[in-house]
Amino acid sequence: MTAQRTYARRHLLREAVLVVSLTVLVALQFVLVTAARADETSERATALTYATETINLTYSQFQARKLDFTGAGCNKDANTQAPVGCDKPSPHNAFDWTTDGCSTAQAPSQWNNLFRAPCELHDFGYRNFGKGLALRPTEAQRATIDRRFRDEMLQVCRDSFPARTQIAQRLTCQSWAQMFYVGVRWLSHWDGRTQPTVRLPLVAQPTPQQPVANPTVTLTQEPVAPID
């Protein structure tokens, strides 16, 4: 009888130890999952903050920042994993810096070339807020990105044609900037995570009062804080 009682006690003790062990494992797993989710939330918040700062840079500052990232091997498609050669810490190594420039077939090449930097800024906004990372895929955010696109194109016009004798060219440039803006504002859409379709409205092309050469813009390297 004593042996049976001893066996029963040992059996109960083993079961109690097993229950305690399982409880500790479940609690530890919960802590680890909670910590992982907190880290993911924190990284996403950091990415959102940095992307918002980036989309608010001037076109020349954006070019400098993009050069810093692509020079570190970070030019990538956001649908793929961050490249091994990207020398930036997480979450900054997840941004999509790819671009197709100003993909507006209806516009003369001189305007596609002139607005190249604002178009790249616009691509960054669409490909990180609306697609890929989907940091904030809302129509309100798209409107903000489109307005930044318009503002930087107008700044390009002011920088490219600053002289009083270039008023006609500047007005023509501003007209094209407004048409590019109308094209993305009213003929684009964010449908879930799909890439927006952008088409320029078929409107009469403005003709300058005097010939406009293919102007170029010198992109000054304005200081922006790098990510090491």
Q: What is the pLDDT of residue 79?
A: 53
Considering just the CA atoms, what is the radius of gyration of the chain in Å? 27
Low-confidence ranges of the chain (pLDDT < 70): 1, 3-5, 7-13, 15-40, 76-84, 105, 191-228
pTM for the full predicted model: 0.69
Closest CA to 124 of 76, 159, 170: 76
Q: What is the pLDDT of residue 200?
A: 44
- CA-CA distance, 185 to 166, in Å (whole number)? 28
Backbone phi, then psi, for 217, in 5-degree steps?
-115, 130
Question: Any idea where the domains of the chain sit in the sequence?
Answer: 57-186
Closest CA to 215 of 111, 118, 116: 111
Q: Tell me the per-residue pLDDT of 66-95, one tens digit each, with 9 for 90 and over.
A: 999 999 988 765 455 555 578 899 899 999
